[in-house]
A and B are shown apart, each in its own frame.
Chain A
Amino acid sequence: MDIKLLKKIKDDTLKRVGNKFDKDYRTNKEKEVRIVLKNSYVIDKDSIDEYIARDGYFALNKAITEMKPEEVTEVVKDSGLKGRSGGGFPTGLKWGFIPKEKGQKYIICNADEGESAATIDGVLMRQDPHSVLEGMALAGYAIGASKGYIYLRYEYPVCLEVLNKAIEDAKEKGLLGKKILGTDFDFEVEVFRGAGAYVCGEESAIINSIEGNRGNSKSKPPFPAVKGLFSKPTLINNVETLSVVPQIILNGADWYKSTGIPGSEGSKVFTLTGHLNSPKTVEVPLGITIRELIELGGGMRDNRKFKAFVTGSPNVTMLGSEDIDLPVAFPEFKERQVMVGSGGVVILDDKTCMVDFTHFNVDLLNIESCGRCTPCRVGTKRAAQLLEKIKEGSASLKDLDKLIELAEHLRTASLCGLGQAVGMTMHTAMNSFKDEFLAHINEHECAAGKCFK
């Protein structure tokens, strides 16, 4: 395989498919963009030729024949791309943390997609598997890794089939495996199936899981970049993060930056769910306001009042109606201890009880807690029980103080992101919906009529 052949496949395929690629599923062409979802629902997922016809593997060719590994990292850095798993960690910076020395290194594509409201990574892997593989190969080239794992959520059997076929096809065409595109670059990809625990989406738990241990989180540092899988330097990125890398390499950092706002460059896919008229998956530029997202979802169901914007289930964080014009962007959210999340958005109306909603999530998170550290193992349970007391009407203001204290303790003292995020869940709930908590405790009043039964 070489660039000539790649071009020939592209031309032949374009001729064959006619105007198939002109399809555009967007309902709002002004607000929605098509970058991450460029190929989804357009190409035949099983056809590597159709992926190539959409400029697939041209970025990989460009990188390994024309660019030095550091240059690839540099372009990703310049693009402003941030981790799409929700934390928003600058991707290029993370790549730069991997030691330059030669030796065994790994790429892990985090396809655990644990967020219950999100189906973005699943869509991407099913619809456009080669974009994920190409993104991994590019990352592998940039950091000097020759092996990549896709840590796949157990509940995604279709993705498993599609990915395995895509890997085979790419290998057959010399786009993965040994001596890719006739160069000295080798890169293998293997799909590893998780066993279903939410915490196994956390990077150190993934490493434990692939190594065959119990899926516990480990203390950081050492970070995986230095001591990761099998104690080797390991880069872990989310599916969506990796799948957009080929386009960034092919079209340049400036092209990518032209979407979104400074500090939150590019686009993000969201699954809009909850009390909306038409829940759906959309891709929008970052910086879009919450109000605009609600509109894209067809507005509030039954014309009810918007109450809460929730991201990241079950590690939810939330914003109230006073924040409806807040841009969905990393720095703005971070300031409020809210996560952009991996794309699951739940819009709630005024019929929802936020105490009940918080209780539901915190209780669930205790079940998902790996049990390793004290604050999360015991603290999430005690928090859930305190919330239960509020719901029953047996709580005092002292219990609320205890909850506030616990939220702080979870956020600052937990070992991994799960427990820390439960602290954020509780903090954002009690921060944005303080009056509701107080009404429950003082007046035994539940505006949504859910509690005190």
Chain B
Amino acid sequence: MNKIKLTINNQEVEVSKGTTILEAARSLDIKVPTLCYLKGISDIGACRMCVAEIEGMGLKATCNLEANEGMKVQTESEEVVKSRIRTLELLASTHTFECWTCPREESCYFYDYLQFYNVENTYHDDHKFMSNTRIINESTAITLDSGKCVQCGACTQVCAKIQTPATLDFNNRGIDTIIAPTSCGETLDDIACISCGQCSKVCPTAAIIETNHIKRVEAAIKDPNKFVVVQMAPAVRAAIGEPFEYPIGTPVREVEGKMYRALKELGFDLVTDTNYAADLTIMEEGTEFIDRVKNGGPLPLFTSCSPGWLRYIEQYRPEYLPNLSSAKSPHMMQGAFMKNFYAPDELNKDASEVYMVSIMPCTAKKYEIARPEMEQDGIRDVDAVLTTRELARMIKQHGINFRHLEDYKPENELAQYTGAGTIFGASGGVMEAAVRTVYEILEGEPLPNLDIHAVRGVEENIKEATLKLPKTGLEVNVAIVHGGQGIKKMFEILDKGEKEYHFIEFMGCPGGCVNGGGQPIVREEFMQGLDVAELRAQALYQSDKEDVEFRKSHMSPVIQRAYEKYLEKPGSHAAHKYLHTTYTDQSHKLK
């Protein structure tokens, strides 16, 4: 056994060899402040907040220093605290403080530390120290604000190591150092970023946030000529409670009704649910799959509902574009269907009057609605995307007491859904939903067990399963891939061509949409031994099992009605015109 004993703040602790002092301290429940550290992802030692005094070594950063036998560590000595305060003073001297309007006012670790250490704003009494120019760099999905950046570099590590584009990095030197898009692009739209927003989730401040759509949504709600329709993605209900102090993984039924009610109170004219279109997506994508199996490919079919993933394949692996399903993602289908069929026909509203807002766990959806293909006759399918975080912020800004809201259940057809639609939010959910439908269509009889555990979970970034269709005589090899690293790995496997796959679910974010870049922020130090994505996914699976009347998309009466009344059948001409899209090679952005 490779064990090491050391003392931290006079407490003895035994850890295994290779453990950092920071992790050893955490195992004793000793709090050490960090800005740049992310367990297993970032230990670049940039911020210098985690310093401690080590006997014989002086002050040392603890996040990347391995514990040694017999070390004596003090994490709260006078010297240590002084050093942290000086570091914070220096960071404060470069910061643009506007906490009262800041999207991170309640989840800013920098602010918390300033408060905790009672840091004086030492350098702000003299114009001499005002040396940094604030640069706000806005792309469709992500906004970088150098005025709020503490240059911890956490974003660069997540982008490079977890998502792989490595599109953010330190630029320039000295006081002019700035976190900015790498290579020659001006914004993250111009280069090979995938808009996933994973960087925004590890940023300790508001230096990386989703590009604000609250303003345009508020304006639309106030506009008497607009009929504002809202929809929310499956994964939103798995996390919307968190900003209101509900524990991570709170059952959907405890918060979903409050969320619907909050939207009504915010003044949306009609509440619908993206889960409806998730069912629609299964019909379209499932049919496309059956069609490709019967008519010779191209296989494997790749799912197309994650816009981060879309950017990935268009930019990095355009040679695989023929494999990509042409189905739009659920909220785009919802927007197109609402504006072009439902509103004119059943609500007596013209497409141009309808303003469609999607609440999404995702920052890339903001990029997606701006894709040139996403419109019909000049009318955009979706007009605004709010992240789960933005919705929570709006609710708070409006003084709505979320916890005390009465449940509301929207009656509109486009708010009704099956369990298959709900589980879209978890990695493996799209595949599981598709299998439930494809199996029954091909086999002509019910799938014996609806819970397909092989495709669930987040431990592996590539999951595989084989589905046997006894009557049809097919063996379908499916795979589920999530996160940039997994995607990269899957393409390496596909390049080798040794394994035959038929259907692959791809999600841009690790853990799928429940862990999307627009979800509520969970501080790294609280994530100890708790997998956020897993807990949120459990809430969705529970809802699928306990809360819904139907668990298979094709069984949904409202979906059946949509085809009868408007779309004829999956893959029809009308479906193709409104619910499907095209892709283009974007590899020039890699340059």
- By a beta-carbon cutoff of 8 Å, the part of chain A in contact with chain B is 197, 214, 216, 218-219, 221, 366-375, 377-382, 385, 388-389, 402, 405-406, 409, 412-415
Q: Does B86 contact A415, Cβ atoms closer than 8 Å?
A: no
Taking the complex as formed, is B137 at the interface, i.e. its CB lies under 8 A from any CB of chain A? Answer: no
Select one of B47, B61, B123, B173 contacting A371, CB under 8 A.
B173
Q: Does A413 contact B93, Cβ atoms closer than 8 Å?
A: no
Nearest A residue to B92 by beta-carbon distance?
A378
By a CB distance below 8 angstroms, the chain B residues around A385 are: 128-129, 131
Contact A373:B47 (CB < 8 A) given known A378-B93, A409-B86: yes
CB distance from A370 to the nearest CB of B (A): 6
Q: Does B90 contact A378, Cβ atoms closer than 8 Å?
A: yes
Select one of A378, A380, A402, A413 contacting B91, CB under 8 A.
A378
CB distance from A336 to the nearest CB of B (A): 18
CB distance from B416 to the nearest CB of A (A): 53
Name 29 A/B residue pairs within 8 A (Cβ), A-sorted. A214-B170, A219-B44, A219-B45, A219-B64, A219-B65, A221-B65, A221-B66, A370-B173, A372-B170, A372-B177, A373-B46, A374-B47, A374-B90, A374-B91, A374-B151, A375-B86, A375-B87, A378-B91, A382-B129, A385-B128, A389-B126, A389-B128, A402-B122, A405-B86, A409-B87, A412-B83, A413-B48, A413-B86, A415-B61
By a CB distance below 8 angstroms, the chain A residues around B76 are: none
By a CB distance below 8 angstroms, the chain A residues around B174 are: 366-369, 371, 377, 380-381
Nearest A residue to B51 by beta-carbon distance?
A413
Please give the number of chain B residues whose Cβ is less than 8 angstroms from any Cβ of chain A in the complex: 37
Nearest A residue to B177 by beta-carbon distance?
A371
A214 to B166, CA, bound (A): 13
Nearest A residue to B84 by beta-carbon distance?
A413
| Of B64, B90, B131, most A-chain CB atoms within 10 Å | B90
Q: Does B48 contact A415, Cβ atoms closer than 8 Å?
A: yes
Taking the complex as formed, is B153 at the interface, i.e. its CB lies under 8 A from any CB of chain A? Answer: yes
A118 to B485, CA, bound (A): 46
By a CB distance below 8 angstroms, the chain B residues around A388 are: 128
A218 to B43, CA, bound (A): 10
Select one of A373, A378, A406 contacting B175, CB under 8 A.
A378
By a CB distance below 8 angstroms, the chain B residues around A216 are: 170
By a CB distance below 8 angstroms, the chain A residues around B90 are: 374-375, 378-379, 382
Within 8 A of A (CB), among B14-60: 43-48, 51, 58-59
Q: Does B48 contact A374, Cβ atoms closer than 8 Å?
A: yes
Q: What are the interface flags for B163-178 relative to A under an 8 Å C-beta threshold, 1 for contact and 0 otherwise? A: 0000001101111110
Taking the complex as formed, is B94 at the interface, i.e. its CB lies under 8 A from any CB of chain A? Answer: yes
Q: Does A373 contact B126, Cβ atoms closer than 8 Å?
A: no
A374 to B44, CA, bound (A): 12
Nearest B residue to A378 by beta-carbon distance?
B90
CB distance from A212 to the nearest CB of B (A): 12
A437 to B83, CA, bound (A): 25
A372 to B156, CA, bound (A): 12
| Of A369, A380, A413, most B-chain CB atoms within 10 Å | A413
Nearest B residue to A376 by beta-carbon distance?
B174
A84 to B61, CA, bound (A): 28
A388 to B127, CA, bound (A): 12
A413 to B50, CA, bound (A): 10
Select one of A214, A366, A371, A412 contacting B58, CB under 8 A.
A412
Contact A369:B46 (CB < 8 A) given known A377-B151, A413-B51: no
| Of B51, B61, B86, B93, most A-chain CB atoms within 10 Å | B86
Within 8 A of A (CB), among B111-157: 122-123, 126, 128-129, 131, 150-151, 153
By a CB distance below 8 angstroms, the chain A residues around B150 are: 374
By a CB distance below 8 angstroms, the chain A residues around B131 are: 381, 385
Nearest B residue to A409 by beta-carbon distance?
B86
By a CB distance below 8 angstroms, the chain B residues around A389 are: 126, 128
Nearest B residue to A215 by beta-carbon distance?
B173
Q: Does A368 contact B91, Cβ atoms closer than 8 Å?
A: no
By a CB distance below 8 angstroms, the chain B residues around A369 are: 173-175, 177
Nearest B residue to A384 by beta-carbon distance?
B175
CB distance from B337 to the nearest CB of A (A): 48
CB distance from A356 to the nearest CB of B (A): 17
By a CB distance below 8 angstroms, the chain A residues around B94 are: 378
A380 to B177, CA, bound (A): 13
CB distance from B73 to the nearest CB of A (A): 15
A45 to B24, CA, bound (A): 56
A402 to B66, CA, bound (A): 33
By a CB distance below 8 angstroms, the chain B residues around A218 are: 44-45
A265 to B182, CA, bound (A): 48
CB distance from A27 to the nearest CB of B (A): 41
By a CB distance below 8 angstroms, the chain B residues around A375 are: 48, 86-87, 90
CB distance from B128 to the nearest CB of A (A): 5
Nearest A residue to B130 by beta-carbon distance?
A385
A379 to B87, CA, bound (A): 8
A412 to B52, CA, bound (A): 11
Contact A413:B45 (CB < 8 A) given known A219-B61, A221-B66: no
A372 to B250, CA, bound (A): 39
By a CB distance below 8 angstroms, the chain B residues around A374 are: 46-48, 87, 90-91, 150-151
Additional 10 contacts, C-beta under 8 A, given A368-B174, A377-B174, A413-B59: A197-B173, A218-B45, A367-B173, A369-B174, A374-B150, A378-B90, A389-B126, A405-B86, A413-B48, A413-B87
By a CB distance below 8 angstroms, the chain B residues around A379 are: 86, 90
A231 to B312, CA, bound (A): 29
Nearest B residue to A199 by beta-carbon distance?
B173
CB distance from B131 to the nearest CB of A (A): 6
Q: Does A377 contact B87, Cβ atoms closer than 8 Å?
A: no
CB distance from A435 to the nearest CB of B (A): 25
By a CB distance below 8 angstroms, the chain A residues around B177 are: 369-372, 377
CB distance from A441 to the nearest CB of B (A): 15
By a CB distance below 8 angstroms, the chain A residues around B93 are: 378, 382
By a CB distance below 8 angstroms, the chain A residues around B173 are: 197, 367-371
A216 to B177, CA, bound (A): 12
By a CB distance below 8 angstroms, the chain A residues around B44 are: 218-219, 372
A412 to B48, CA, bound (A): 10
CB distance from A355 to the nearest CB of B (A): 16
A211 to B47, CA, bound (A): 24
A197 to B173, CA, bound (A): 10
A385 to B124, CA, bound (A): 13
By a CB distance below 8 angstroms, the chain A residues around B83 are: 409, 412-413
Q: Does B170 contact A415, Cβ atoms closer than 8 Å?
A: no
A412 to B46, CA, bound (A): 14
Nearest B residue to A386 by beta-carbon distance?
B128
Nearest A residue to B58 by beta-carbon distance?
A412
Nearest A residue to B170 by beta-carbon distance?
A371
Q: Does A371 contact B65, Cβ atoms closer than 8 Å?
A: no
By a CB distance below 8 angstroms, the chain A residues around B51 are: 413
| Of A367, A371, A378, A379, most B-chain CB atoms within 10 Å | A378
A380 to B174, CA, bound (A): 8
A415 to B151, CA, bound (A): 14
By a CB distance below 8 angstroms, the chain A residues around B176 are: 371
Nearest B residue to A213 by beta-carbon distance?
B169
CB distance from A364 to the nearest CB of B (A): 10
Q: Top 9 A-B pairs ranked by shortest CB distance?
A: A371-B177, A219-B45, A378-B90, A381-B175, A366-B174, A369-B174, A409-B86, A412-B59, A219-B64
By a CB distance below 8 angstroms, the chain A residues around B170 are: 214, 216, 370-372
A377 to B90, CA, bound (A): 9
A49 to B45, CA, bound (A): 49
A377 to B177, CA, bound (A): 8
CB distance from B354 to the nearest CB of A (A): 48
Q: Does B169 contact A214, Cβ atoms closer than 8 Å?
A: yes
Nearest A residue to B153 by beta-carbon distance?
A372
Contact A373:B172 (CB < 8 A) given known A221-B65, A389-B126, A409-B86: no
A376 to B343, CA, bound (A): 60
